[in-house]
Amino acid sequence: MNYIYKHIELNSIDTEFTPFSFSYGFNISELVDSIQKVGLINPPILKKVKDGFVLVAGYKRILAVKELGWKKIGGLILSEDMPSFNCLLINFYDNISTRKLNEVEKAILISKLSNYIKPEQIIKDYFSLLDLPQHMPTYRLYIWIATSLSNKVKDKLANGEISLKAIRIMYENEIPQEDIEIYADFMSKLKFNFNKQLQLIEYTQDICRKEKITLKQLFGEKEIVNIIESKTLTNPDKVKKILDIFRKRNFPELSRAEDIFKKRVQRLNLPAGVELKAPPYFESPYYRLEISFRNGNELKKKLIEIANIEGIEIVGDPWKQ
């Protein structure tokens, strides 16, 4: 492939029309600092067109030198007859050789590749390079991300505020775009970790379906709003309280069983340093006894105390008593 190195005017490069770029969710401040200190080490690649130049690779570099006030830049120039698909591949390999793409960038790239080649070829030739499973459902998911998600949600996916798993669940459940944006704002505001994002979607979708209410109505309920606006609770505490409310609302029988078990344990007056725990969701037949002790004599004493507690034999599944 032949390039011509040439110094050109920066205003001759169209940074609005970027058919070969898929950069998304980036910050150029570090790049600006780097160029300011050591100069532009890797020149951008440009394609000659009738009225100037179209950027092939180096979009962030161009933005950075513009911010620095440069008027001219040295670039590698491709001829006008260079096929567009080849230009896209140049940018692709230029990027993956130096960094890992975020999920939105992968989606934009896959969408752009689909303008030139069939899905099967994209999956076969490029998915392994993108660390993606090589099957059609993944292709459809990423096309949907590129073409259907709002920029607001894409921003949160690109910067890691929302997990790909959460996006996948919303896609598979055909959750409306309006609700996806509501979830995105809710999750990022309270900083739900990835596992809790999945719990939130599961609980709230079931509640909305059973109670025939909208997600907006659910999140707008006074109890939830009060937790969100609390000045005393930390974000992790808010997330825990909200998920507990939704879980209890979704599984009222389980919640009642947990409350019964908790009250029974409290009535036992267990010795200090002794905890009796039910299995999560009562799914296992085994309960857990945890004892803190300093030595064997203290352990023996606590075991005797526990064995002699009146009513200890009632410990078990609350609905069986």
pLDDT band of 110, cuts 50, 70, 90: very high
pLDDT band of 252, cuts 50, 70, 90: confident
* Tally of CA atoms within 13 A in the half-sphere of 157 that contains its CB: 27
Under 8 Å between Cβ of 231 and 187: no
Residue with structure tokens 């409290």? 266
Residue-wise pLDDT for 13-54, tens only, equals: 988 888 999 999 888 999 999 999 898 888 999 998 888 899
- How many Å apart are CA 190 and CA 236, to the nearest integer? 8
pLDDT at 320: 66
- How many Å apart are CA 215 and CA 196, to the nearest integer? 17
Neighbours of 52 (CB within 10 A): 13
- Fill in the amino acid letter for 75: G
Q: How far is CA 149 from CA 100, 144, 167, 168, in A?
A: 21, 7, 10, 12
pLDDT at 160: 93
- Fill in the amino acid letter for 124: K
Pick the CATH number of 1-99 from 3.90.220.20, 3.90.1530.10, 3.40.50.10680, 3.40.50.10470: 3.90.1530.10
Residue 208, φ and ψ in degrees, nearest 5: -60, -40
Under 8 Å between Cβ of 39 and 114: no
Q: 107-112 contacts: CB < 8 A, separation 24 or more?
A: 107/142, 107/143, 107/145, 107/146, 108/22, 108/24, 108/146, 109/22, 110/139, 110/142, 110/143, 110/146, 111/142, 111/143, 111/146, 111/147, 112/19, 112/20, 112/22, 112/88
- How many Å apart are CA 63 and CA 28, to the nearest integer? 8
Q: Which two tokens stand for residue 259?
A: 């409350």
pLDDT at 90: 94
Residue-wise pLDDT for 51-100, tens only, equals: 889 999 999 999 999 999 999 999 999 988 899 999 999 999 999 988 89
Q: How far is CA 222 from CA 132, 213, 240, 257, in A?
A: 42, 15, 17, 26
Residue 121 has pLDDT above 70, yes or no: yes
- How many Å apart are CA 45 and CA 88, to the nearest integer? 11
Under 8 Å between Cβ of 317 and 282: yes
Domain boundaries, the chain: 1-99, 261-320
What does the mean pLDDT of the chain come to? 92
- How many Å apart are CA 229 and CA 227, to the nearest integer? 5
pLDDT at 119: 97
Under 8 Å between Cβ of 118 and 87: no
Alpha helices for the chain (secondary structure H): 29-38, 59-67, 84-96, 103-113, 119-126, 136-148, 151-158, 164-172, 177-190, 194-211, 215-219, 222-228, 235-250, 252-268, 296-307
Residue 1 has pLDDT above 70, yes or no: no
Residue-wise pLDDT for 137-178, tens only, equals: 999 999 999 999 999 999 999 999 999 999 999 999 999 999
